[in-house]
Structure 1
Amino acid sequence: MHTLWKGSISFGLVNVPVKMHAATESQEFKFNYLHKDCQQRIRSIKKCPHCDQEVDMADLVKGYEYEKDRYVVLSDEDLASVEQPMSRSIDILDFIDLEEIDPIYYEKSYYLSPEETALKAYRLLSQAMEESGKVALARVTMRSKQHLACLRVFEQGLVMETMHYPKEIRHMDVVWDRVVPTETELTMARQLIDNLARPFEPEKYHDELHEQMAQLIESRVAGENFKVVAPSKGGQVVDLMEALRASIAQTEQEKGKLETKNAVKDKVKVKEKVKVQDKTKDKEVEAIATEEANGEKPKSTLTPRKRTTRRAKGA
């Protein structure tokens, strides 16, 4: 993986040199604008509407619009005076429970891999965090911006999530809290949720739009036609109770099919396990018979008991 940043994780007096890599990547298709007549790519031109002329990058300055059509211009020196220097340290501030952080705070994920000289320290930190069930809140500066971050264990390594600050989180204007569902409606809604509850299996979810776009592009490159089948629309909810009942009936049927499917899988797994155990047992019997035929005692499968300190001293 490409290294984006090099630095270290520091907490207390411990310093762990690490490298940072992007943990996710965009799968979006990127399109270019072409001239319809000649199919040539259109270039972006920066043009001043007041002077009616094209402007080079060297002639651009940064301005902040503090009122409508009124700007304050800031030079590169002005911006450099408040920008923080590029930090090479991920400073851990606190260790907290992961459940205390709402996902709305997360921004982007980065993998942190250890430098060759820090393999043991890296492993020590990740294993200690995993066993304690804690994640680390940290502060790091990247691209002249100071980020709040969360360090957590993922796939036996460390991943860093940059986070939004509380001031960056917008709050909803709640107007529906005055609506009170009946106990019957709540009971049926809970039952529907229970019927739809599944273990998290990330591999079963995929981007259907991305797949259709790929098929569309491939068909156009090959000069073929491609037609997307429109998904069936769900019925409009007229009566909430009727919709809940119909949904529960449907999910009960699907849940029964899933349970039957899982039961079949479990039976297959049990049969395979029994076969393996039988093969192992046959091999053990065969080995014992061979050793006895050769006049040798079979090796014990018992684990030796640990000697106590007192017996060890007297030995």
Structure 2
Amino acid sequence: MRAIWSGSISFGLVNIPVKLFSGSQSDSLDLDMLRKGDLCPIKYLRVCKRDNKEVPHEEIVKGYEYSDGEYVVLSDKDFENASLEKTHLIDIVDFVQESEIDTRYFEKPYYLEPDKSGAKAYALLREALKRSGKVGVASYVLRNRGAMGIVKPLDDLLILNQIRYSEEVRAASDLKLPSQDNLREQEVTLALSLIDQLTTTFDPSKYHDEYIDDLKKIIDDKAHGLAPKPEGKAPQPTKVTDMMALLKESLKQKRKEAA
């Protein structure tokens, strides 16, 4: 893996030099855009709005429009100088229980690796977090953007889990949601029994993107001149009158599988 950032974790007055690595990767299909008539690949160009001429990458700069048509050009050094300390620091500002953080806030994981000179301090922070059962709430700057994250231990590793700011999480107050007034206790009991039947220990390796597998099969069929067939049927909403019968049938199926 290649480090995408280097700096320090600030823990009180202790600075721990670290490198940051991405902890996730995309597993999507790489699809090209084509012209429908002759399947010619489409290329995206950076074009000047005034003269419609293509602009080479090395001639492109970033600018902020502070008034109509007037720009201030910002260099990489300007972004760094905006806060020289923050661009090189993961500053732990608070310690909290991870269970207090709404899951909607979690965004992306990163791995933290210490430099040789910071190995002992890294191990100290990791052990202190393990024993306290808490996580550190940290602020930092990554890719010219201020960010928040939580620092937490995982075995011998410290993870920085990027989280969203509160203004980035939408409120759900405008949604029309049902109340539980029309539920019968028997229905709830059956639903709880079904949950018990389906309960297991979480194993992430058990799950994978089955949609990508189905899509690859369609690609393979079409490459060999075969007409693709739809997988399964679109699900239909359950009728209220069928709820009890479907719950009972679901329980029967799970008991058969278990037997």
TM bucket, shorter chain: 0.7 to 0.9
CA-to-aligned-CA distance 1:155-208 (integer Å, 9 cap, x gap): 431111111111111101144365623342433333333333222121221101
Q: Residues 118-267 of structure 1 correspond to what in structure 2 (within 5 A)?
A: 118-172=118-172, 173-176=174-177, 180-184=181-185, 185-218=187-220, 223=224, 225=226, 227-240=228-241, 242-243=242-243, 245-257=244-256, 259-260=258-259
Asked whether the 8 Å contact 1:34–1:40 carries over to 2, the reply is yes
**Is 101-110 or 40-49 further displaced after alignment?**
40-49
CA-to-aligned-CA distance 1:89-139 (integer Å, 9 cap, x gap): 111111111111111111211111122233332222222212221111001
Number of equivalences = 252
TM-score by length of 1: 0.67
Structure number with higher relative contact order (C-alpha < 8 Å, ≥ 6 residues apart):
2
> Aligned partners of 1:114, 1:228: CA distance in 2, in Å?
52
Structure showing greater radius of gyration is 1
- The 3-state SS of whatever aligns with 2:87 is coil
Pairing 1:22–2:11 present: no
> Aligned partners of 1:177, 1:248: CA distance in 2, in Å?
20
> Aligned partners of 1:152, 1:2: CA distance in 2, in Å?
21
Matched residue, 1:54: 53
Cα shift at 1:228: 4.6
TM-score by length of 2: 0.80
CA-to-aligned-CA distance 1:31-70 (integer Å, 9 cap, x gap): 2223456654322234567x56335264887566x9xxx9
- The 3-state SS of whatever aligns with 2:182 is coil
> Aligned partners of 2:120, 2:221: CA distance in 1, in Å?
51
Asked whether the 8 Å contact 2:61–2:73 carries over to 1, the reply is no
Asked whether the 8 Å contact 1:195–1:248 carries over to 2, the reply is no
Asked whether the 8 Å contact 1:83–1:145 carries over to 2, the reply is no
Asked whether the 8 Å contact 2:137–2:149 carries over to 1, the reply is yes
Cα distance change, pair 180–202 in 1 and its aligned pair in 2 (3 A): same
Q: Residues 40-51 of structure 1 correspond to what in structure 2 (within 5 A)?
A: 40-47=40-47
Structure whose residues are more often helix by fraction: 1
Matched residue, 1:278: none
> Aligned partners of 2:225, 2:178: CA distance in 1, in Å?
53
- The 3-state SS of whatever aligns with 1:54 is coil
Cα shift at 1:210: 1.4
Asked whether the 8 Å contact 2:137–2:151 carries over to 1, the reply is yes
> Aligned partners of 2:75, 2:33: CA distance in 1, in Å?
36
What is the percent sequence identity of the aligned residues?
28
Cα distance change, pair 252–167 in 1 and its aligned pair in 2 (3 A): same
Pairing 1:74–2:71 present: yes
- The 3-state SS of whatever aligns with 1:212 is helix
Asked whether the 8 Å contact 1:61–1:74 carries over to 2, the reply is no
> Aligned partners of 1:73, 1:189: CA distance in 2, in Å?
62
Cα shift at 1:219: 5.4
Asked whether the 8 Å contact 2:190–2:248 carries over to 1, the reply is no
Matched residue, 1:291: none
Matched residue, 1:265: none
Structure 1 unaligned residues grouped into runs of 5+: 261-315
Cα distance change, pair 253–116 in 1 and its aligned pair in 2 (3 A): farther
